[in-house]
A and B are shown apart, each in its own frame.
Chain A
């Protein structure tokens, strides 16, 4: 039998380090099919819904009311699909950590990297990079394809116009930050189904409940919802935002969303450090 004595090259650093952990996380995320599928679904939903939304606008434009024509925001219209794409990227974020708990690989991960803060930070960093690249690709993809499809005399947007680049790039950033929030929820809850339910509930169910509140509360609470922050970010024209909610300005909203993600990751990290694996 072959035995095991070997001469491993000595490591270059005195101690395990974030760069190795990040390489490992990159191997993990690219080596499972669920990553391919969730990214594919993100692309199909975000760009596909954008195609449908922009293509149908051609038929409507001629019959639109003057006020609608005035507030028409072709950028925001082409990014409509982010509303659904955000669900897929959130599932990718949840799975990045919940799959470790579900399969038991969290134990081998934490045995290899006893510093749990370093482990979670590296995981969040690699996931954020992947989610940002995916988010920007789908956001710019939906924008360019959508602008090509808007016809029938409706105005088109270009990146040179005021606020458009911010809206499109911000749409991708919104997806990445929301994915980090989902990763944080997954770290807190540890179970795939539970964390996805919490994430979807936060995104889709909460906005359905706010109309039950008194009018004055609706605005105060509604502007804190992630979807409202995302809509503000992807709009070039404040008047195009429908409903009674007056949202935060794009970057204030983004800072609040980043705060949510940071809080979720901090709570998850605290639990990870304090609790048994």
Chain B
């Protein structure tokens, strides 16, 4: 259980985190979403007692981090990739951490095995790839068998096999009843992994809800209509207040009314329908819709240039949104 209550963090004039409150519950994976610079890493560092909030407080299992008796046995964290001394071996890196919290050496070999680094345990970490560094960071997080785990961008630098591995690991940790808090800017990844979402923009809470509800709330849901009588259909639909966009292939994207109503109208007006299909917004689009204001306000829409954020299906509507940023 992680509780964040009204935390604010300023760096000079910049407010990185602004009166942010949320809860992360055990037994599920909570995704922590936000555009780059939204304050995700800062928030995680404050939960870990590394950065001090200017206001508000954070608690882990009901206690401020500073008060934990055996921190590594209660909280494990992967905060940044390759925060490892390049001259120290993977085994010694884990062993020096284990010693601070009276964790036996056998556990070091156990977590090395879990993350698949046993064969390079005695190699200097400086020779590791980014992906191996991530695995070592994950091993460090698991070291104390903690009930609360924080992962900041855990799949950065991993290959597809590694991404799948992290996804399964996170799900396994959630199933074991642990509190799992994962930040990512990869919306599609969160759709596959997370049960619950905390979305922030410009350091403020934008949404805190189950993933399914988050997608359902999106205004990006629409119905795809193909018809040989497109113009007549547009007229018929305009009286209902629906928004109709004609796409390049001639199909209509209709939002604001349900597929049922569109079918009824087609029947009443005796219009021919070739396709009538409700389209679910992807998580990326829901996320962009929600965070757009905060991003536009900052004038840094850079995150949308990430190809991983490109819509999973092309619509004229979503297409212009992306290119306009």
Question: Hey, which bits of chain A sit against chain B, CB under 8 A?
Answer: 1-6, 8-9, 11-16, 20-21, 23-25, 27-28, 31-34, 99-100, 103-105, 107-115, 276-277
Contact A28 B88 (CB under 8 A): yes
Contact A16 B85 (CB under 8 A): no
Closest residue of A by beta carbon distance from B173? A4
For the complex with contacts A15-B69, A27-B95, 13 further pairs of A-B residues with Cβ separation under 8 Å are: A4-B145, A4-B172, A6-B110, A8-B104, A8-B145, A21-B100, A24-B97, A27-B99, A32-B88, A111-B71, A112-B72, A113-B71, A276-B45
Residues in B whose Cβ lies below 8 Å from that of A21: 99-100
Question: Hey, which bits of chain B sit against chain A, CB under 8 A?
Answer: 45, 48-52, 65-66, 68-73, 75, 77, 79-80, 82-89, 92-93, 95-97, 99-104, 107, 110-111, 113-114, 140, 142, 144-145, 165, 168-169, 172-173, 176
Residues in B whose Cβ lies below 8 Å from that of A23: 99
Contact A103 B84 (CB under 8 A): yes
Contact A114 B68 (CB under 8 A): yes
Closest residue of B by beta carbon distance from A28? B96
Shortest Cβ gap from A101 to chain B (Å):
11
Residues in A whose Cβ lies below 8 Å from that of B99: 20-21, 23-24, 27
Partner among B84, B145, B172 whose Cβ is within 8 Å of the Cβ of A1: B172
Contact B172 A112 (CB under 8 A): no
Contact A24 B100 (CB under 8 A): yes
Closest residue of A by beta carbon distance from B125? A103
Partner among B51, B65, B102 whose Cβ is within 8 Å of the Cβ of A13: B102
Contact B145 A6 (CB under 8 A): yes
Complex Cα–Cα for A12 and B101 (A): 10
Contact A11 B172 (CB under 8 A): no
Contact B69 A111 (CB under 8 A): no
Shortest Cβ gap from A228 to chain B (Å):
35
Shortest Cβ gap from A179 to chain B (Å):
19
A-B contact pairs, 9 of them (CB 8 A): A1-B165, A2-B114, A4-B142, A13-B102, A24-B96, A108-B79, A112-B97, A114-B65, A276-B50
Closest residue of B by beta carbon distance from A13? B102
Complex Cα–Cα for A24 and B97 (A): 7
Residues in A whose Cβ lies below 8 Å from that of B169: 1
Residues in B whose Cβ lies below 8 Å from that of A15: 69-70
Complex Cα–Cα for A31 and B98 (A): 15
Complex Cα–Cα for A13 and B101 (A): 10
